[in-house]
Structure 1
């Protein structure tokens, strides 16, 4: 059976928002080299400035979830789109590193709204949640791949400030389109009506205590460990690939000056991730969420341990390994997103996803520092062993969900 009209409307709206969040997110590093030359600053200072954008992206997820419950998900997503686009327009007018910092800070605050609001909207408004979670994830992967590609291509022909402005245009158009979309945001639950949820600080504290006294506490830690694996591998894999003997002297022959072979392989991994998102989402209709999480975490742990020995076998095995990593790295996302929906009440769904992405994007960003330390002080095998340990902890937490809390739910 196909998606209902309401499901399709919400899917289109949230897919657009998700793609654009990552479109902006992954285009920011492309500007790093340009800003270093433009403003004559150190890498350390610029790294700190860029952190002003990425840190609120994770930290702001919790207040974003609270606001989604209070003011409505659609309204928050439109604010997010306008805010992110406005931030890039600020960047386009920046004539100092300080204004760059302001623009990135605005972007991070605005972007932090999306995930708790968008996922809450899907979980309360969509009947076929597994399928829409999958398509939603694919849209995110599309933005992840297109953002840096489009930014890098435009920088060949245009000044960076014009590129920043051009990247803002799709966000503005999407926000304007969103104002005219019509759907029922609570069609999939009988627990809510279309009224907004009003909450005081005491209500927030009480609701948070209730959440963390339930199975959601396990889900929260599980998602954080998934984030540790995800952020660690995606942050350092491009650099790791550049140093592998299997890629030495390999030329893709696409004529894009400045693009290293490892970059092609990395983008390919992200593209394969789209198939993983779809397959994972479809699988949630047939596999209990706890079992799916256990299985994929174990696969990721084994793939991490296999990376160094497989990479030594040559280009072909490395390409296959990266494709499989990309598939399962993103196939797990519909499962943990659905786990939040299964183990939380509908009226607190925005708060639940806010905490979820506080863990996924906020707490898990610590793996960037951990990974950098390990790569600088130990071997590549040690780095992947740590990533494997993150996945194994996730598998253990999924097993705990199954044994102690399982509702036998299949969406």
Structure 2
């Protein structure tokens, strides 16, 4: 839970920094060639880090099945802390890019490691996913909120360095933690014998190919497309959300000196950062609800309903925003809760459609789809906002959600 909260603290603090980088950097130099910094440019840079966050989940999942969860979670924590220390001394966007790539590499092993630990080590799996999801959303909400508060008094580089400290401390604790990682996995096959795949994992490239083919020969391929659609929607809506909110009524910057006399006149309170953090924090309830629903109903039904609602909410976002700050505040709470209800549902669906022995590999593919392919949502959003408009972006997002809902209906009919 601690590691999950920190992974998402860093992940969702990055969009707040994006709005600052857009204002601070005018060009990025690569191999002697300079490029102008636009939403499309930053979308590609952020996508590189987020993409590695997802792509690295696949080899991370293989390592989990061989090495266990604890050591990989510890390595993840130290790597994330180191990447934000590097971000704290970044003089330009090239170093920012390197820091984001390091963060993506380190964070990529977390979800296969953490979710494998829950699915094989916790008897009440749905409740375990629920509490685990709540911890993630505490980081998702409080991380950006803490970042926004720190930015009131510190430069963004100092804030990045401060954020590195909790991961380094948690990493030291993770090195000392001891527990049974397979407490909820009895290792028995359907014929009463031992199922080798509850113990084995992947030992070679040939076995990796064999187990991958086994996974994708069944309904897991449909689940994989669902999580890709979720990732594209999730990253597409969140990467530039603070920037999107800046131009809406009620989101004008407020001089901090209006609240705290004597504060430097150039510092402002930016309402969009707090709206963004609040929307993410509301997701705690959605994560808990989604986890509990998996203990009561087949998760495919929840996925179909939640993504259908997300499609409607995407289309309604700008019309509701035009009504004013109050209606958008209520809408944002519903949107945040719904967005995160989906995650425990598809996590449980992966467990239902995969064998225990390659669960790490399964979750590796899951987060390759959700955070790897899904990272392209940031690049898509940046390109659409640069060359089209926000209305077009939300139509595209609704399309991603509609695909996920339709595939969940297919799984229900197939069963």
Mark the CA change 1:200 to 1:23 in structure 2 (over 3 Å): closer, same or farther. Answer: same
1:120-170 CA-to-partner distances (Å, cap 9, x unmatched) read: 111111111111212211211221223333334334445655443322221
User: Following superposition of structure 1 onto structure 2, how do residues 114-263 of structure 1 map, counting pairs within 5 Å?
Assistant: 114-158=110-154, 161-191=157-187, 197-245=201-249, 247=250, 255=259, 257-263=267-273
For 2:46 and 2:386, the matched residues in 1 are separated by: 22
Once the two structures are TM-superposed, the CA of residue 388 in structure 1 deviates from its matched residue by 1.6
Mark the CA change 1:175 to 1:218 in structure 2 (over 3 Å): closer, same or farther. Answer: same
Indicate whether 1:294 and 2:294 are aligned.
no
Mark the CA change 1:323 to 1:37 in structure 2 (over 3 Å): closer, same or farther. Answer: closer
For 2:12 and 2:227, the matched residues in 1 are separated by: 21
For 1:385 and 1:38, the matched residues in 2 are separated by: 30
Mark the CA change 1:75 to 1:43 in structure 2 (over 3 Å): closer, same or farther. Answer: same
Once the two structures are TM-superposed, the CA of residue 220 in structure 1 deviates from its matched residue by 0.2
Mark the CA change 1:34 to 1:392 in structure 2 (over 3 Å): closer, same or farther. Answer: closer
For 1:230 and 1:61, the matched residues in 2 are separated by: 17
* Structure 1, gaps ≥5 residues long: 1-14, 407-411
- Kept in 2, the 8 Å contact 1:211–1:217? The answer is yes
Partner of 1:6: none
- Kept in 1, the 8 Å contact 2:133–2:344? The answer is yes
Count of aligned pairs between the two proteins: 390
Partner of 2:103: 107
Mark the CA change 1:319 to 1:97 in structure 2 (over 3 Å): closer, same or farther. Answer: closer
Say which is worse superposed, 319-328 or 35-44, in terms of deviation: 35-44
Indicate whether 1:63 and 2:59 are aligned.
yes
User: Following superposition of structure 1 onto structure 2, how do residues 32-111 of structure 1 map, counting pairs within 5 Å?
Assistant: 33=20, 37=24, 41=28, 43=37, 50-94=46-90, 99-111=95-107
For 1:321 and 1:386, the matched residues in 2 are separated by: 19
For 1:265 and 1:159, the matched residues in 2 are separated by: 21
For 1:249 and 1:158, the matched residues in 2 are separated by: 21
Mark the CA change 1:152 to 1:119 in structure 2 (over 3 Å): closer, same or farther. Answer: same
Identify, as 1 or 2, the structure richer in helix.
1
For 1:248 and 1:17, the matched residues in 2 are separated by: 33
Partner of 2:397: 387
* Structure 2, gaps ≥5 residues long: 29-35, 188-194, 261-266
Please report the RMSD computed on the Cα atoms of aligned residues, expressed in angstroms: 2.9
- Kept in 1, the 8 Å contact 2:142–2:277? The answer is no
Once the two structures are TM-superposed, the CA of residue 375 in structure 1 deviates from its matched residue by 3.5
Once the two structures are TM-superposed, the CA of residue 251 in structure 1 deviates from its matched residue by 6.5
Once the two structures are TM-superposed, the CA of residue 309 in structure 1 deviates from its matched residue by 2.8
The TM-score normalised by the length of structure 1 is 0.85
Once the two structures are TM-superposed, the CA of residue 73 in structure 1 deviates from its matched residue by 1.4
